[in-house]
A and B are shown apart, each in its own frame.
Chain A
Amino acid sequence: MYVAVKGGEQAIDNAHKLLAKKRRGDTSVAELAVAQIQQQLPLAVARVMTEGSLYDEELAALAIKQAAGDLVEAIFLLRAYRTTLPRFCASVPIDTSNMLLNRRLSATFKDVPGGQLLGPTFDYTHRLLDFSLLAEGDHAGPQTRADARVEACPRVLGLLAREGLIKEEADTGAPVADITRQPLEYPASRAERLQALTRGDEGFLLALGYSTQRGYGRNHPFAGEIRVGEVEVWIEPEELGFPISIGAIEVTECEMVNQFVGSASGLPQFTRGYGLAFGHAERKAMGMALVDRSLRAGEYAEEIVSPAQQEEFVLAHCDNVEANGFVSHLKLPHYVDFQAELELIRKLRTPAKEQAR
């Protein structure tokens, strides 16, 4: 008598137990605390918060622990949790001009008001494995002067805009759709596009941004300004009638200065691409800014020929939770569809066999 090979409830339970065991690893090594992840893997936490669309460092760290370090899985965990949260209100737009900077640089001017502020960065490090990290140690950071102050840092692109050299970006005041509540429809508004890009996979945006640099939708980018720091979040509850601060979040903002456009009616101007991410996430913000600009091809009457310029292609495929889900579903049984295909291919091959005879 044939016994079907099927999944059973017991097998599923056991698979989950095995996963928990693998996550824990060798029990003679101390268990990783969520606080350690939050403190010592801040860049992983930043990515999970950004693509998970939820600013909560502790929950992001928990997700990283639960996902055994698989960041796409951690992003998925955080998103699924986010679904269950009530929405109280939308914040007032954050004001990144007044952020408390810990890093700021512009590649377009040697010196800008406020100066360049390197802050913590991998840039200029030699990528040599530091074997001293095999042991534990304290890293106190550089000496600081008691009288050190960060000067006011006006936005670099604002300086260009004063001269009319760059396209102005004006807030139309129109209500902003929430793509996690309403389905994205094409063509999308820029606000919807930026939301999708912020949630989009860092690697995918990096690669697409890179493709524009290599000539697939080239748009001559300069890193006008990258700033990393804390901004206050304000909300304006209806019953109060005035805004109140509910705390501060760390963000990374990137504004690209791109090739200029001119027209019969106006003088040539630079254009810009915009990237914003939670936490310290420069690669993400830069990739996003490049892709944001390339997706504005239609707006600037540029020829749309490359993947990074095609809105549907980029927005429909940039979400790694969607992409990972659909790719991984190939692991689900497809006996029925495959059986249907088997029956079909055997039928299609029949005349060919007869001819060969």
Chain B
Amino acid sequence: MNAATQPRHSPRESRDEAYNFAYLDEQTKRMIRRGLLKAVAIPGYQVPFGGREMPLPYGWGTGGMQLTAAILGAEDVLKVIDQGADDTTNAVSIRRFFARTAGVATTERTPEATIIQTRHRIPETPLHSDQIMVYQVPIPEPLRFIEPSETETRTMHALNDYGVMHVKLYEDIATFGHIATAYAYPVTVDERYVMDPSPIPKFDNPKLDMSPALMLFGAGREKRLYAVPPFTRVTSLDFEDHPFEVQKWAHNCAICGSHDSFLDELILDDQGTQSFVCSDTDYCAQRVNEGRTGQ
């Protein structure tokens, strides 16, 4: 598909009556909503929930899907992105799943969506307060790669004991001269819990801070959910002499010419000729519609 194609808005479909609305039974959805309320009340805290087996594999967005199923209403307009794009195979698959089981309208336009389920990106178009972002999370525990035991990490969170995380970041600086984390970059939420923002590039971290939209995170396999309520301080971990900074590109998007969006690198030929395009396909298409071009 050409990225410049007009994005689609699909009206409500008739839903598959063989399943409950949005697949999960009402009791399960209620259980998840209770978990979400707790998560919103304790920003950044990982709430265990009775995750269900979904008809998609673990690791492919089952946590995000369960949250979406729990909050989805008949009037909602759903957008699903994977790597910023609406038309990657898994985004298509999840969007179709809800169109089929909930019969909701779907869209590729960021401003039109009321719920945006995402894997690995936050849209470039600023979010507004009527929107909910649902993130698919593989490993919800930011301390997991430092301390493999769940019993230990839960205690560390309880005691606000995040020294090891700073030591890890310091060791990066000592070894490489920079903090060597490019995505799933840890953040502190509301000056309390250290949280994994899911594997979004650190480029997207600043979009979490004081966002007017509610941010919900679901990890299906690990059976954890957490949240960042609207207008909550979210700071990326750093040091005074090594402040947090985001990725920059020396190139512009080859399609829309954007110089401040996250760019995907493409290899065009055997000689390794590079080209760069926006990872957020909707943002890119809107700019093209406004008459902007790459060259």
Whether A325 and B58, one on each chain, are in contact in the complex, defined by CB atoms closer than 8 angstroms, is yes
Instruction: Indicate which residue in A326, A339, A343 contacts B221 across the interface (CB closer than 8 Å).
Output: A326
Whether A83 and B57, one on each chain, are in contact in the complex, defined by CB atoms closer than 8 angstroms, is no
| Nearest chain B CB to A167 CB, angstrom units | 26
Stretch of A111-119, A190-198, A344-352 with 4 or more beta carbons under 8 angstroms from chain B: A344-352
Q: Which 6 A-B pairs have the closest CB atoms?
A: A325-B58, A329-B59, A7-B89, A325-B57, A340-B182, A326-B59
Cβ contacts A to B, 17 pairs, < 8 Å:
A2-B275, A6-B87, A6-B88, A76-B57, A79-B53, A184-B223, A324-B57, A327-B59, A328-B60, A332-B59, A332-B60, A333-B83, A336-B262, A339-B264, A340-B201, A340-B203, A344-B180
Whether B59 and A340, one on each chain, are in contact in the complex, defined by CB atoms closer than 8 angstroms, is no
Whether A328 and B89, one on each chain, are in contact in the complex, defined by CB atoms closer than 8 angstroms, is no
Whether A183 and B138, one on each chain, are in contact in the complex, defined by CB atoms closer than 8 angstroms, is no
Report if B145 contacts A (CB, 8 A). Answer: no
Q: In whole angstroms, how far apart are the Cα atoms of A86 and B200 in the complex?
A: 37
Known: A76-B57, A83-B54, A328-B57. A4 touches B89 (CB 8 A): no
| Nearest chain B CB to A288 CB, angstrom units | 21
Whether A312 and B247, one on each chain, are in contact in the complex, defined by CB atoms closer than 8 angstroms, is no
| Nearest chain B CB to A261 CB, angstrom units | 24
Whether B48 and A336, one on each chain, are in contact in the complex, defined by CB atoms closer than 8 angstroms, is no
| Nearest chain A CB to B102 CB, angstrom units | 15
Known: A321-B58, A337-B182, A343-B247. A8 touches B265 (CB 8 A): no
Query: Which chain B residues border A351 with CB–CB below 8 Å?
Result: 177
Residues of A within 8 A of B (CB): 1-4, 6-9, 11-12, 76, 79-80, 82-84, 86, 180-187, 312, 316, 321-322, 324-329, 332-337, 339-344, 347-348, 351
Query: Which chain A residues border B146 with CB–CB below 8 Å?
Result: none
Whether B88 and A348, one on each chain, are in contact in the complex, defined by CB atoms closer than 8 angstroms, is no
Whether B178 and A344, one on each chain, are in contact in the complex, defined by CB atoms closer than 8 angstroms, is yes
Whether B58 and A337, one on each chain, are in contact in the complex, defined by CB atoms closer than 8 angstroms, is no
Query: Which chain A residues border B121 with CB–CB below 8 Å?
Result: 336
How many pairs of residues, A versus B, come closer than 8 Å at their CB atoms?
Answer: 157
Known: A2-B275, A186-B150. A8 touches B1 (CB 8 A): yes
The proximity string for B residues 61-93 relative to A, scoring 1 for CB distances below 8 Å and 0 otherwise, is 010000000000000000000111101111011
Q: In whole angstroms, how far apart are the Cα atoms of A186 and B153 in the complex?
A: 11
Query: Which chain B residues border A6 with CB–CB below 8 Å?
Result: 1, 85, 87-88
Beyond the given pairs A185-B150, A324-B58, A336-B262, 4 more chain A to chain B contacts, judged by CB atoms under 8 angstroms and listed by A's residue number, are A82-B53, A84-B19, A329-B60, A332-B59
Whether A339 and B263, one on each chain, are in contact in the complex, defined by CB atoms closer than 8 angstroms, is yes
Q: In whole angstroms, how far apart are the Cα atoms of A275 and B268 in the complex?
A: 56
Q: In whole angstroms, how far apart are the Cα atoms of A184 and B52 in the complex?
A: 12
Query: Which chain B residues border A79 with CB–CB below 8 Å?
Result: 53
Whether B89 and A321, one on each chain, are in contact in the complex, defined by CB atoms closer than 8 angstroms, is no
Whether A183 and B50, one on each chain, are in contact in the complex, defined by CB atoms closer than 8 angstroms, is yes
- Among B89, B120, B180, B202, residue most surrounded by chain A Cβ atoms (within 10 Å): B89
Q: In whole angstroms, how far apart are the Cα atoms of A329 and B119 in the complex?
A: 12
Instruction: Indicate which residue in A180, A321, A335, A348 contacts B176 across the interface (CB closer than 8 Å).
Output: A348
Instruction: Indicate which residue in B51, B149, B266 contacts A312 across the interface (CB closer than 8 Å).
Output: B149
Whether B48 and A339, one on each chain, are in contact in the complex, defined by CB atoms closer than 8 angstroms, is no
**Chain A, Cβ-Cβ closest to B57:** A325
Report if B49 contacts A (CB, 8 A). Answer: yes
Main secondary structure of the interface of A (DSSP, over half): helix
Query: Which chain B residues border A180 with CB–CB below 8 Å?
Result: 50, 52-53
Interfacial residues of chain B within 169-200, with CB under 8 A of chain A in the complex: 176-178, 180, 182-184, 199-200
Instruction: Indicate which residue in A7, A80, A184, A186 contacts B151 across the interface (CB closer than 8 Å).
Output: A186
**Chain B, Cβ-Cβ closest to A3:** B2
Interfacial residues of chain B within 142-160, with CB under 8 A of chain A in the complex: 148-151
Report if B105 contacts A (CB, 8 A). Answer: no
Known: A186-B151, A312-B150. A2 touches B59 (CB 8 A): no
The proximity string for B residues 1-42 relative to A, scoring 1 for CB distances below 8 Å and 0 otherwise, is 111000000000000000110011100000000000000000
Whether A340 and B202, one on each chain, are in contact in the complex, defined by CB atoms closer than 8 angstroms, is yes
Query: Which chain B residues border A183 with CB–CB below 8 Å?
Result: 48-51, 223-224
The proximity string for B residues 95-106 relative to A, scoring 1 for CB distances below 8 Å and 0 otherwise, is 010000000000
Whether A326 and B58, one on each chain, are in contact in the complex, defined by CB atoms closer than 8 angstroms, is yes
Query: Which chain B residues border A80 with CB–CB below 8 Å?
Result: 53-55
Query: Which chain B residues border A335 with CB–CB below 8 Å?
Result: 83, 264, 279
| Nearest chain B CB to A66 CB, angstrom units | 12
**Chain A, Cβ-Cβ closest to B284:** A4
Whether B221 and A322, one on each chain, are in contact in the complex, defined by CB atoms closer than 8 angstroms, is yes
| Nearest chain A CB to B295 CB, angstrom units | 10
Whether A328 and B201, one on each chain, are in contact in the complex, defined by CB atoms closer than 8 angstroms, is no
Whether A7 and B92, one on each chain, are in contact in the complex, defined by CB atoms closer than 8 angstroms, is yes
Whether B1 and A340, one on each chain, are in contact in the complex, defined by CB atoms closer than 8 angstroms, is no
Report if B113 contacts A (CB, 8 A). Answer: no
Report if B255 contacts A (CB, 8 A). Answer: yes
Known: A80-B54, A84-B25. A4 touches B277 (CB 8 A): yes
Query: Which chain A residues border B237 with CB–CB below 8 Å?
Result: none
Report if B254 contacts A (CB, 8 A). Answer: yes
Q: In whole angstroms, how far apart are the Cα atoms of A1 and B201 in the complex?
A: 27
